[in-house]
Amino acid sequence: MANFSTYQESHPSIKNILLLDSDGKRVAVKYYSDDWPTNNAKLAFEKSVFTKTQKTNARTEAEIAMFENNVVVYKFSQDLHFFVTGGDDENELILATVLQGFFDAVALLLRSNVDKREALENLDLVLLCLDEIVDGGIPLVAYSTIAVGLLMPTTFLAAATWQQAIGGHEYYCCGMILETDASVIAGKVATHSMDAAAPLSEQTITQALATAREHLTRSLLK
Amino acid sequence: MAQPYVKKDDDRDEEAEYSPFLGIEKGAVLQEARVFNDPQLDPRRCSQVITRLLYLLNQGETFTKIEATEVFFSVTKLFQSRDFGLRRMVYLMIKELSPSADEVIIVTSSLMKDMNSKTDMYRANAIRVLCRITDGTLLTQIERYLKQAIVDKNPVVASAALVSGIHLLQTSPEIVKRWTNEVQDAVQSRAALVQFHSLALLHQVHHILIGECNEPILCKWRNPSGSYLKLNFDDISSGNTGLSVVVDALLEGLNNSGPVPEDNFLNIRQNDRLAVSKLVTSLTRGTVRSPLAQCLLIRYTSQVIRESGVNTQSGDRPFYDYLEGCLRHKAEMVILEAARAITELSGVTSRELTPAITVLQLFLSSSKPVIRFAAVRTLNKVAMTHPMAVTNCNIDMESLISDQNRSIATLAITTLLKTGNETSVDRLMKQITNFMSDIADEFKIVVVEAIRSLCLKFPLKYRSLMNFLSNILREEGGFEYKKAIVDTIVILIRDIPDAKESGLFHLCEFIEDCEFTYMSTQILHFLGIEGPKTSDPSKYIRYINNRVILENATVRASAVSTLAKFGAMVDSLKPRIFVLLRRCLFDSDDEVRDRATLYLNTLRGDGSVVETNKDVKDFLFGSLDVPLVNLETSLKNYVGDLPGSLSALPVTSSSHMCMIWIQEPSEEPFDIDSVPKEVKSQPLAEKKGLGKKPTGLGAPLSGPASTVDAYGKMLSSIPEFSSFGKLFKSSPPVELTEAETEYAVNVVKHIYEGHVVFQYNCTNTIPEQLLENVIVIVDASEAEEFSEVSSKPLRSLPYDSPGQTFVAFEKPDGVPAVGKFSNMLNFIVKEVDSTTGEAEDDGVEDEYQLEDLEVVAADYMLKVGVSNFRNAWESMGPDCERVDEYGLGVRESLAEAVNAVINILGMQPCEGTEVVMSNSRSHTCLLSGVFIGNAKVLVRLSFGIDGPKQVAMKLSVRSEDQAVSDAIHEIVSSG
């Protein structure tokens, strides 16, 4: 049990990544922790983060704020607001690196037209981008939902086994950072349009960028 | 149907509102998903539909079980397509849908095929998807591939397998444990992130292994060649092979650059320390490429340091050099991680702190807000424990007061207020004044609160702080902010006698131009109590009278009351007050006129100057000694059956006068003494809750004694208990029944010098019953020092109307006797006819078992805080000090142990020392209180916790009486 709690803390973890528009509406969001169990809780968090950061100038440098014991780093571009949330104790600069990775990767994929319209038109790329930055892990079901008080609250079982049995809520341990280098992320996402022939390892960053651009031109022309 | 409308909308306002998902609807998209079943797949079209499905899910839309299954099955058909982009979207979709176990089987084979594909991207993604949706049984089938993937030459594939391993470790640790060889190889990968992921996995595998082998291991560190580190384990081969494999592989594989101290023998009791410290030792000497992996290593290192403590041989902290070296790393995140790790070392010395503080200081002037924030936040934490270490940064910190990011500015200010010394206060105040004008109210309140504690810390500086407060009080601000300022001034007036006059003056100035009626009346009330006691009360009269002339009726009325209080207290002012009060007789408002009339009569405003008698003072300053709820009920009953015209009825009692408007005068006047003084349990509990909050205006100078006062008055009005003397303490109500039982009973323990009174608050929750002669039969056989002296039954207990019954015990004078009492509720039940509400004549005697009640040592302790513990401690002197050490055994955490001791003693924690920093290994807690016999007690608790959670405690008690100090020790040793 003690082991569990320490290893949750031990590696840098991301609680959520949000991409909102200039009205605070979702463009794409991804939650990796169960701090916000319902959609309403998520929306409430997004609203409070959005309204409190709205008036700040986070266009040149990423900004930072605390919300309900979470650290949120954020950056804006035109009508898009990027947020990355981590726990209270998280290293702010790691969160900022993840944010920068996400921001730059999206910028590369959208060919620097980082606005809501472009993001929605290429939502598939944005979603793949999120998928390549942080790995959400295995949904776990908190055992405690089955028999509160009988079992240790931090014992978990694989969701696949328990979820259908008891209909408990999904529990995501935390998001493990997968990659923070924007060009690598964009490269991975952009292989999308490539032929499956070229293995990624042989690709240089320049190639990856070229592919990203190529993809964009194609998507603009279609 | 929505389509044409959407089109139009597009034309009109395309730029602003365009979205490819406008008017999207779940039903329609699910229909579109049929294209997945087409024999001729159109990859682009399918990708678009998946994107639309993902968009819906992302917006918070949910699919029903049937919908999800349907989508899942059709998505699996898409594995036929060879289109790369589509395959990626399929992976994403499967992860989003989290299929159930029986569904997973459908895709397993497809995914396993992808796992062995030649395309790296397929392999990486298939691994992640499969590990996410799979369960233990399937995992054994794919384990072989995963092990291969970990050492795959492509970093993306290796990372995917490693990250999946980290997640799987929580569900199937026994499988992941077997991968240690491969993970070990991956640690040496040239790819930065592979190193990061494998390090994370390796460390967690250790944690799992630790749980399994417990025998002590003697290990020997040798450095035969100067470049190679070899380990000899005794016992290890017999125990867990996994561990030896890990450690051996780890050490074989890593090239160690630095030399290791010769022949260090370490007898380490626990394997976790050993294994993790091996890992850390080897890696801290090797090269770690990724900054993320470096951060991870720093975390593990601090964990090893935490678990091993200071090296007993040299007094050095192991691995400190490594942490310090990381402060010179090129990546900022590593520097921050190392600096933070150093500041969080338990018992960190100032020598160890200095290099970390230096790099954080550099961060303070960074151009990036995130770096400034991280630095100031870390320093803010350090300032709580080592304020002196942070003072070097004060100059840089001051420049942050004007930071664009308000979180940074506020953190900077609160840090400065913590580290500031007496001399820098003035300069600081000047800085803050500029800053205050352009921040939001919520931040201003934080600053005002910080200033409040600063002022209590440096009482001599009250002048400049009070000036600051009066300045910000004059500026624009919302109610909450103004209230925070006014509360702070009130607290300063209370705690710093010198500040009284200027504080009152500032409050007077404030009400001259105060837009909040509530605050004006509160300040006027406060002024009425404090003003007459000052050296020159006359100077306040002008301000108060201005209120009478200029304000609205509510404020005018309270100004009249304040004037009357001055008149009552200051005889020399009386004639002038009378003149002012007489003017109020012509006020346009009834309430103001009434009050003026009442006060003129009370103070005998006929011109003759007479000594104000005690009754009048009681009337003006005392509080109503009957609960308002009871008064209201009694008045309603009194008025209820009197029809007719309106007229006023004066009600009098020894110290109270009320004017009651009733519809027609009754034959007999209302007697306030008939109002029951016994308090219903519920309102009192609420009052108690409110009373705890240290609000400035809400709780006037009478302090925390108010609930005790209310109880005291109530009990002394009961003849049986009036001879017990002064009430010492009343406990909060303790529930003796489960929630929602037939009869709800809770008990309040009232402690006297030589007696204990139990007040049972009973509520009857059955509408069909009337209880009579309710009494609690108490069995005190397990409380030898107590003997029952009297009891007061409750005559009748109707439905849903709480009543009290009392039982009194005698105990030895001034002795904190403890004991356990078992309780039985005894009563006569009468059936109540639900239609008429009449009770039947005959009742049946019945009883109801209640839970046991205990009188504990904490009941004899009053929570009374001191504002400056050090001063109080010094002035108490060591004459009656007693110090002893105790072992508290194995505890869950340090915080839990601290709380337990505080609860046993029932004392007031001072200066926020009840809060234990997480991860700290030692803690000092300061407590103060008043023990029975009115003996002031101060306690200093020092806690320490070691590896296996053994907690030791040093208890130092100072009091005015040796016997009391000893008693405290007895409480702890018996608790």
Task: Give the CATH number, domain containing residue B229.
Answer: 1.25.10.10
Under an 8 A CB cutoff, do B171 and A178 touch? no
User: Per-residue pLDDT averaged across B73-88, rounded?
Assistant: 86
Cβ contact, residue pair B295, A12, below 8 Å: yes
Set of chain B residues whose Cβ sits within 8 Å of the Cβ of A66: 407
Average pLDDT, chain B: 76
Tell me the chain B residues in contact with residue A124 when contact means C-beta distances shorter than 8 Å. 47, 50-51, 54, 85, 89
- A201 has a chain B CB within 8 A of its CB: yes
Is B357 inside any structural domain? Answer: no
Residue B122 in tokens: 């397929």
Which residues of A are less than 8 Å from B122 in CB distance? Answer: 196
**Does the beta-carbon distance from A128 to B200 stay under 8 Å?**
no
Residue B173 CB-density burial (10 A; 0-12 exposed, 13-18 middle, 19+ buried): middle
Which of A97, A124, A139 has its CB closest to that of B47?
Answer: A124
pLDDT of residue B972: 80
Let me know whether B112 and B233 are in one domain: yes
- Residue B250 in domain: no
Window 70-99 of B, Cβ < 8 Å to A: 82, 84-85, 88-89, 92, 95, 98
Do residues B834 and B925 both lie within one domain? Answer: no
- Among A91, A170, A200, the residue with its CB nearest the CB of B154 is A200
pTM of the model: 0.58
User: What does the pLDDT look like over B772-787, one tens digit per residue?
Assistant: 888 888 888 888 888 8
Whether residue B864 lies inside any domain: the answer is yes
Predicted local confidence at residue A44, as pLDDT: 92
pLDDT for B951 equals: 84
- The boundaries of the domain holding residue B71 are 26-238
Which neighbouring-strand residues pair with A171? A140
Q: The CATH number of the domain where B935 resides is what?
A: 3.30.310.10
Nearest alpha-carbon partner for B294 in B328, B243, B248: B328
The per-residue pLDDT for range B123-142, each reduced to its tens digit, is 888 888 888 887 777 788 88
Please say if the pLDDT value at position B122 is more than 60.
yes
Q: Cβ neighbours of residue B810 under 8 Å, at least 6 residues apart? A: B754, B755, B786, B787, B788, B789
Query: Higher confidence at residue B115 or residue B203?
Result: B115
Query: Quick check: B670 and B660 in contact, CB under 8 A?
Result: yes
Residue A96, min C-alpha distance to chain B (Å): 7
In this structure, is residue A61 part of a structural domain? yes
In this model, does residue B813 exceed pLDDT 70? yes
Looking at the predicted structure, is the pLDDT value of residue B270 above 60?
A: no
At residue B466, the pLDDT reads 86
In which domain, by residue range, is A116 found? Answer: 14-148
Nearest CB among B85, B132, B208 relative to A3 is that of: B208
Residues B892, B845, single domain; the answer is no
Q: Which of B207-211, B570-574, B633-637 has the lowest mean pLDDT?
A: B207-211
Say if the Cβ atoms of A64 and B407 lie within 8 Å. Answer: yes
Answer whether B370 sits within 8 Å of A96, measured CB to CB: yes
Task: Say if residue B841 is in the same domain as residue B899.
Answer: no
| Inter-residue contact B834 to B767 (CB < 8 Å) | yes
3-state secondary structure of B253: helix
B923: three-class secondary structure by DSSP: strand
User: B366: nearest CA in chain A?
Assistant: A61
Q: What is the distance between the alpha carbons of residues B37 and B53, in angstroms, rounded to a whole number?
A: 16
- Considering only the beta carbons, identify the residue of B18, B51, B292 that sits closest to A94: B292
B96 shares a domain with B36: yes
Amino acid A208: pLDDT:
64
| The token pair that represents B973 in the structure block | 């040793």
* Torsion on CA atoms B43, B48, B49, B52, rounded to nearest 10: 160
Question: Is residue A172 domain-resident?
Answer: no
Tell me how far apart the alpha carbons of residues A124 and B563 are, in angstroms, rounded to a whole number.
74
Looking up residue A99, the CATH number of its domain turns out to be 3.30.450.60
Q: Is A87 on the interface with B (CB under 8 A)?
A: no
Residue B94 φ then ψ, to 5°: -65, -40
What mean pLDDT comes out for the span B388-412? 85
pLDDT at B56 over 80: yes
Is the CB of B63 inside 8 Å of chain A's CB atoms? no
Same domain for B145 and B59, yes or no, is yes
Does B155 lie at the interface with A, CB-CB under 8 angstroms? yes
**Contact B21/A at CB under 8 A:** yes
Between chain A and chain B, the number of residue pairs with CB atoms below 8 A apart is 198
**Under a CB-based contact definition with an 8 Å cutoff, are residues B700 and B817 in contact?**
no
**Is the Cβ pair A11, B200 closer than 8 Å?**
yes
Looking at the structure, do residues B56 and B197 belong to the same domain, yes or no?
Answer: yes
Q: Cβ contacts (< 8 Å) between A97 and chain B: which residues? A: 291-292, 333
Among B805, B825, B855, the domain boundary falls at B855
Distance from CA of B133 to the nearest CA of A (A): 7
pLDDT given for residue A169 in this prediction: 35
Q: Does B439 reside within a domain?
A: no
Domain assignment of residue B830, yes or no? yes
| Out of B190-199, B202-211, B223-232, B694-703, least confident range | B223-232
Contact B54 A123 (CB under 8 A): yes
Q: What is the pLDDT of residue B694?
A: 39
Contacts of B297 in chain A (CB under 8 A): none
Nearest CA of chain A to the CA of B306: how many Å?
A: 13
Residue A81 has what pLDDT? 93
End residue of a domain, out of B798, B820, B855? B855
Residues B898-923, mean pLDDT to the nearest whole number: 79
Residue A21 in domain: yes
* DSSP H or E run through B805: strand B803-810
3-state secondary structure of B20: coil
- Is B248 part of a structural domain of the chain? no
Nearest CA in chain A to B199: A11
Closest partner residue to A138 (CB to CB) among B54, B92, B167 is B167
Q: How many domains is chain A partitioned into structurally?
A: 1
What local confidence, expressed as pLDDT, does residue B699 receive?
Answer: 37
Question: Are B778 and B826 spatial neighbours (Cβ–Cβ below 8 Å)?
Answer: no
Read off the pLDDT of each residue in B629-640 and give the average, rounded to a whole number.
71
pLDDT in the model for residue B695: 39
Tell me which of A202-206, B79-83, B450-454, B560-564 is least confident. Answer: A202-206
What tokens does B208 get?
A: 């799992």
Nearest chain A residue (CA) to B21: A120
Q: Identify whether residues B131 and B152 lie together within a single domain.
A: yes
Which residues of A fall within a CB distance of 8 Å from B210?
3
Of A28, A61, A156, the CB nearest to B170: A156
Mean pLDDT of B783-808: 84
If DSSP codes are grouped into helix, strand and coil, which group holds residue B104?
Answer: helix
Angle, helices B192-210 vs A2-10, to 10°: value is: 170
* Cβ-based contacts of B204 with chain A (< 8 Å): 7, 10
Partner-chain contact B84 A43, CB within 8 Å: no
Strands A175-177 and A170-172: unpaired
Do the beta carbons of residue A44 and residue A30 sit within 8 Å? Answer: no
> Would you place residue B334 in the very low, low, confident or very high pLDDT band (cuts 50, 70, 90)?
very high
* Mean pLDDT to the nearest integer, B632-641: 69
Cα separation, B671 vs B371, whole angstroms: 71
Neighbouring C-beta atoms of residue A136, cutoff 10 Å: 22
Q: Which of B104-118, B664-678, B795-809 has the lowest mean pLDDT?
A: B664-678
More confident residue, A128 or B188: A128
Q: Pick from A10, A11, A63: which is nearest to B369 by CB?
A: A63
Per-residue pLDDT at B513 exceeds 70: yes
How many angstroms away from the CA of A11 is the closest CA of chain B? Answer: 6
Chain B interface test: which of A26, A127, A185 (most B C-beta within 10 Å): A127
CA angle centred on B467, ends B466 and B473, rounded to 5°: 90
Q: Enumerate the residues of chain B whose CB falls inside 8 A of the CB of residue A64.
A: 369-370, 373-374, 405, 407
Residue B99: name the closest of A172, A31, A160 by CA: A160
Compute the residue count for chain A. 222
The pLDDT value recorded for residue A206 is: 61
Helix (H) or strand (E) holding A64: strand A63-67
Does residue B505 lie in a domain region? no
pLDDT in the model for residue A82: 94
Q: pLDDT for B458-512, tens place per residue? A: 878 788 888 888 888 888 888 888 888 998 888 888 888 888 888 888 888 888 8
Q: Which of B607, B622, B637 is the last residue of a domain?
A: B622
Most confident of B126-140, B548-562, B883-897: B548-562
Residues in chain A predicted with pLDDT less than 50, given as ranges, are 1-8, 139-172, 192-203
Question: Nearest residue on chain A to B104, judged by CA atoms?
Answer: A160
Name the CA radius of gyration of chain B, rounded. Answer: 38
pLDDT of A20:
93
pLDDT value of position B86? 87
B128 touches chain A (CB under 8 A): yes
Residue-wise pLDDT for B294-320, tens only, equals 888 888 888 777 776 555 555 567 678
The whole-number pLDDT of residue B378 equals 92
Q: Residue B119: its chain A contacts at CB < 8 A?
A: 196, 199
CA distance B171 to chain A (A): 6
Is A178 close to B88, i.e. CB distance below 8 A? no
- Domain assignment present for A81: yes
A163 versus B844: the higher-pLDDT residue is B844
Task: Identify whether B782 is part of a domain.
Answer: yes
Q: In CATH, what number is assigned to the domain containing residue B848?
A: 2.60.40.1480
Please report the sign of the dihedral spanned by the C-alpha atoms of residue B500, residue B505, residue B511, residue B516.
negative
* pLDDT of B359 above 90: yes
Mean pLDDT across B821-832: 87
For residue B945, give the H/E element and its range.
strand B935-945
Q: Could you give the number of structural domains in chain B? A: 4
Cβ-nearest to B295 among A29, A94, A194: A94
- For the segment B778-806, the average pLDDT, to the nearest whole number, is 83
CB of B446 less than 8 A from some CB of A: no
* Phi and psi at residue B227, to the nearest 5°: -130, 0
A173 and B163 in contact by Cβ < 8 A?
no
Q: Identity (one letter) of the amino acid at B277?
A: S
Instruction: Please indicate whether, in this complex, the C-beta atoms of B167 and A135 are within 8 angstroms of each other.
Output: yes
The answer on B881 and B733 residing in a single domain is no
Residues of chain A numbered 137-176 and touching chain B (CB < 8 Å): 137-140, 156-161, 163-164, 170, 173, 176
Contact A91 B374 (CB under 8 A): yes
Is the residue at A8 inside a domain?
A: no
Task: Say how many C-beta atoms besides its own lie within 10 A of residue B782's C-beta.
Answer: 12
Same domain membership, residue B942 and residue B830: no
DSSP string, B165-209: HHHHTTT-HHHHGGGHHHHHHHHT-SSHHHHHHHHHHHHHHHHHH
B784 with B881, same domain: the answer is no
**Predicted local distance difference test score (pLDDT) of residue B666:** 52
What whole-number distance in Å separates Cα of residue B244 and Cα of residue B231?
Answer: 10
Is some CB atom of chain A closer than 8 A to the CB atom of B306? no
Residues B865 and B945 grouped into a single domain: yes
The residue type of B118 is: K
Rounded to the nearest angstrom, the minimum Cα separation between B434 and chain A is 20
> Are the Cβ atoms of A26 and B59 closer than 8 angstroms?
yes
